[in-house]
Structure 1
Amino acid sequence: MVLLSDVVAVSAEVAATSSRKAKTTALAGLLRRLDPPEVATATALLAGELPGGRAGVGWSTLSSLQVEPASEPTLGISDVAAAIDEVRSISGSGSGQRRAESLTGILGRATADEQWFLIRLFGGELRQGALEGVMAEAIAAAAEVRTESVRRAIMLSGRLPGTAEAALSGGEPALAEFHLELGRPIRPMLASPAATLDAALGELSECSVEYKLDGARIQVHRDGDEVRVYTRTLREITRNVAELVDLVRGLDCRSVVLDGETLALDDAGRPRPFQETMARFGAQEERAELLHPYFFDCLHLDGTDLLDLPLRDRLKALEQVAGAYRIPGVLTPTPEAASALFDDALAHGHEGVVVKDLTSPYAAGRRGKAWRKVKPEHTLDLVVLAAEWGHGRRSGYLSNLHLGARDPDGGPPIMVGKTFKGLTDELLAWQTAEFQQRATREEGYTVHVVPELVVEVELDGVQTSTRYPGGVALRFARVLRYRPDKDAAEADTIEAVRGMLRGG
């Protein structure tokens, strides 16, 4: 039996090193020791996530618990799983007090180090975003299987713990059992930024160039008359987007999985503000804004999975089934044609273009160089780490944001700068309320929050700096908008930020 103390020790070891190899070795060593019933829970804990998602416990409850720690470690992985399930099952009148009592029970059996781990786990502070990538390598090492097999299973299932169970119990044959299932969303393939259009074109010998829309990512599954629509974070929004459901139900096919974007348009056909598109995803009542889909990939058609086919073949399937709703773009363009499309995208109110390798398969959940996004201004998606109470006109509001870039090796976000620019009165009021709900601690006038909110910032560039641990700092950053469609695992990496250094 593996104890929680073993998980805590490995978690600390992983956090203490910047070496990806050392992280993988430590994680794989623990995974090999697990009994089969422990694998799913331990994998989630090692990835810094509460098994099963949030349990309805706020930081105010957690910070108020004062429990004498146990002197010796006795908690097993199964004890932790049972405690989490118990807390999550509590609801109804007086649930807050009963959750506190349940938490007191499990904390009373934990050592001081285990208590700190559990409190951060329930509070959401252990989430480290990109640690999933390191975990995939660790699972592969522990099970002696190919890393690509693990990554593919995670992509298709969307479940890291379930993938670990399969790999450790059945090896390659068990991982091969994972396949695309209609009605179960898969991780979306992502684009990485390119400095210029010419640079992106120069990297790929055979490519397509498409509009980059200022919309929201969607993945649509149809099986007969049943249609389901998911966001980029795999949240189902089917009942909120009836017009998209009706449109896909009317396509000439039996089954299909489409990847694309959707956005609300004004009467002139130009995109409405991003926030209006996102408002539709959470709407509980009928709204006037209609969403228009723009599909750019086809992952399945009439019983045939297309994920492993090159993009050029997937685009042929897309044209066959949904050509009328395909995103504007050109195949194998000349540099002049690509530049003209880029200008056309901007003229129509969109963000820029995406350059895609026509020979590439669909590599879900990863930012590689097969898809490169090009925009005229410098923008980054960063994680909010903390905010400072404002002064003067902003007294009473959390204003100055502390921003972090994602650590691709699984550590916590790396701070790269601060900004209070671009915040409207509406955003100030919203973030003050949101941050207080996500607060983990206060230090003077700084409120630290669970690192899960992603904000898009515009900046003049970056510069080398010894002030922040990443060695770089943002120059003249200002907030464009929050990105509720993204989580911390989709924020830009510290490598992307460093890549913006002049001459870098």
Structure 2
Amino acid sequence: MPAFAELLERLVFTPGRNAKLALLGQWFAGQPDPDRGIGLAALTEELTFAAAKPAMIRELVAARTDPELWRLSYDYVGDMAETVALIWQPRAGINAPPPTLGDIVAALETTPKSDIPALLAGWLDTLDAGGRLALIKLLTGGMRVGVSARLARVALAEWSGQKVEAIEEVWHGVAPPYAPIFAWLEGRAPAPDPRDSPVFRPLMLAHPLEAPDLAALRAEDWRAEWKWDGIRVQLTAGPGGRRLWSRGGEDISAAFPEILAAMEFHGVLDGELLVVRDGEVAPFADLQQRLNRKSVTARMQRDFPAAVRLYDLLFEGAEDLRPLPFDARRARLEAWHARTAPARMDVSPLVPFDSVDALSRIRDGARAASIEGLMLKRADAPYLAGRTKGLWWKWKRDPLTVDAVLMYAQRGHGKRSSFYSDYTFGVWREDGELVPIGKAYSGYTDDELAWLDKWIRNNTVNRFGPVREVERGLVLEVAFDAAQLSSRHKSGVALRFPRIARIRRDKPAEEADRLEAVMALIGDRPAD
């Protein structure tokens, strides 16, 4: 555990991607099994401990700490795990060695639920503040050290010399602590064989289309599809089971049981998850009602019916179609769909065009059709993992913008953990009240982030744990893809993909946009 605590601390205070990769490589090389695999699973949020809940940890602290001291400390620190780590008072005379990650996992799997509080208290007594923080983060999740599952797999690739695509092909077929993967990467065993298991295959991604790229296009070499306003998913099904994956390889099957039930085939498909009513694609806000849920009710399935618009066929049965050109895969997809006719799935239509100018006019109409834009794919392009420039382009409609007033700020994560980088902003109602319409944490440069951080610290008027309320004096130009009605926000509206376009130091806060101007961008859409 002390080694894992040191890793977490160094990751938090290491902003650079390459430096994080180096730290992870040192962890893989220096730690034994199963500790290195358990640590890897914890960083990528693949570990869950059903019996060790935050409420249990708070009860342990309450038994040893004055409640008013706990309340004040928690309010000041703003993070439960960090507060416990700092305030915990170990019992005198404890000389037991700190537990290893393997000890912790093994004990939690075998200890009766009634005995777990005493077990946790004993571990907390043997650890210093850093170790206590690492233990609580391990048990409750939410590491927030700037390590994604993708970054962890890249670190494995750099450490071992294997291609990251090869690691991703087997990743979901092996459970933590990943002993077969480490044995393969160290040359002690062959690569794990996922066989017919429903493993995630790395997606092919597109680059944004810029003006020079557009000028170089020859219409006859390309195929166009609509870029639908849902989330990219992969469907994998076969003798080993069925899974619905997000673009990042997260298993979202539980939230969409009706899609899983329709996957009565053996293959791997690429598509867009949408809410579709009577053949019409619903706003993204409707799909958000279904996302990030561990289960859904029959009513939710009825009110927000999910469907998948298919883009590509990666595997048909056990046959890998990814090396084929796009046109060949498209023909196979259409034939497969006509033959299989899976429920809740259709094929995304190709958009006909005979010139780049014609395609540009089609793209200009995307907003009126409530579509994000266009995808352009080379007719001869194989399906390659990752983002290979020149094979797929995404040509999104131009963003909308609004001038909003900064209301609240919160520190970021990873390399931004020392900066106030997450911003809640709002617009004025007719009665003069400022109401929030969204939150953004991207779009600015490093210099702008430093300026914003300093401004926020100098203009804070109130604090709510980790959140600072600021003087209503700074206008931000916010770019976004769409505005949608929302019953969950006081303003009644929510923005899709907001990001900071620029800081309007030249504009007085009272001249920021009004709520009615934002509402006018919505059109006739149902409230969520």
Count matched residues.
418
1:214 aligns with 2:225: no
2:298 aligned counterpart, secondary structure: coil
TM-score by length of 2: 0.62
1:30 aligns with 2:27: yes
1:29 aligned counterpart, secondary structure: helix
Task: Give me the whole-angstrom Cα distance separating, in 2, the residues matched to 1:204 and 1:157.
Answer: 40
1:51 aligned counterpart, secondary structure: coil
Match of 1:326 in 2: 347
1:80 aligns with 2:104: yes
Match of 1:445 in 2: none
Task: Give me the whole-angstrom Cα distance separating, in 2, the residues matched to 1:422 and 1:298.
Answer: 45
Match of 1:475 in 2: 477
Match of 2:160 in 1: 143
Task: Give me the whole-angstrom Cα distance separating, in 2, the residues matched to 1:231 and 1:20.
Answer: 23
Q: CA deviation at 1:114?
A: 0.5
Task: Give me the whole-angstrom Cα distance separating, in 1, the residues matched to 2:408 and 2:164.
Answer: 41
1:15 aligns with 2:32: no
Unpaired segments of 5 or more residues in structure 2?
A: 59-79, 430-435, 456-474, 487-495, 504-528
Q: CA deviation at 1:327?
A: 1.1
Q: CA deviation at 1:296?
A: 0.5
Amino acid at match of 1:121: L
220-229 vs 102-111, which deviates more?
A: 220-229
1:418 alignment partner, one of 411, 420, 423: 423
1:74 aligned counterpart, secondary structure: coil
| C-alpha distance after superposition, 1:375-401 (max 9, x if no partner) | 324489xxxxxxxxx9xxxxxxxx836
Q: CA deviation at 1:304?
A: 0.6
1:259 alignment partner, one of 270, 274, 292: 270
Task: Give me the whole-angstrom Cα distance separating, in 2, the residues matched to 1:480 and 1:415.
Answer: 25
Contact kept, 8 Å, 2:478 with 2:501, in 1: the verdict is no
Identity over the aligned pairs, expressed in percent?
22
For 1:351-366, what aligned pairs fall within 5 Å after superposition? Answer: 351-357=372-378, 361-362=382-383, 366=386
For 1:102-501, what aligned pairs fall within 5 Å after superposition? Answer: 102-128=119-145, 130-154=147-171, 157=173, 161-162=177-178, 165-169=180-184, 171=186, 174=189, 176-179=191-194, 181-186=196-201, 188-191=203-206, 194=208, 198=211, 201=214, 207-223=222-238, 229-232=244-247, 233-237=250-254, 240-241=257-258, 245-246=261-262, 249=264, 255-266=266-277, 269-279=279-289, 282-286=295-299, 287-288=302-303, 290-322=305-337, 325-330=346-351, 334-357=355-378, 361-362=382-383, 366=386, 369=389, 371-378=392-399, 400=408, 402=410, 404=412, 416-421=421-426, 462=444, 464-465=447-448, 466-468=450-452, 475-476=477-478
Task: Give me the whole-angstrom Cα distance separating, in 2, the residues matched to 1:199 and 1:71.
Answer: 67
Q: CA deviation at 1:208?
A: 3.4
Amino acid at match of 2:408: N
Q: CA deviation at 1:128?
A: 3.9
1:41 aligned counterpart, secondary structure: helix
* Structure 1 residues 53 and 158, CA gap change in structure 2 (3 angstroms): farther
Q: CA deviation at 1:68?
A: 3.3
Contact kept, 8 Å, 2:12 with 2:146, in 1: the verdict is no
Contact kept, 8 Å, 1:216 with 1:278, in 2: the verdict is no
| C-alpha distance after superposition, 1:260-296 (max 9, x if no partner) | 12323455x5422323334456531151554443101
**RMSD of aligned Cα (Å):** 4.9
Match of 2:41 in 1: 44
Contact kept, 8 Å, 2:255 with 2:296, in 1: the verdict is no
* Structure 1 residues 99 and 16, CA gap change in structure 2 (3 angstroms): same
Greater C-alpha Rg = 2
410-419 vs 274-283, which deviates more?
A: 410-419
Amino acid at match of 2:477: R
| C-alpha distance after superposition, 1:91-128 (max 9, x if no partner) | xxxx7xx6544422221222222012222333434134
Contact kept, 8 Å, 1:238 with 1:245, in 2: the verdict is no
Contact kept, 8 Å, 1:259 with 1:295, in 2: the verdict is yes
Task: Give me the whole-angstrom Cα distance separating, in 1, the residues matched to 2:117 and 2:398.
Answer: 48
Contact kept, 8 Å, 2:5 with 2:133, in 1: the verdict is no
Q: CA deviation at 1:29?
A: 2.5
TM-score by length of 1: 0.65
Task: Give me the whole-angstrom Cα distance separating, in 1, the residues matched to 2:173 and 2:418.
Answer: 26
| C-alpha distance after superposition, 1:54-79 (max 9, x if no partner) | 76523784448554357896322322
| C-alpha distance after superposition, 1:203-230 (max 9, x if no partner) | 8785433211122444333438986545
Match of 2:509 in 1: none
* Structure 1 residues 44 and 262, CA gap change in structure 2 (3 angstroms): closer
* Structure 1 residues 38 and 201, CA gap change in structure 2 (3 angstroms): same
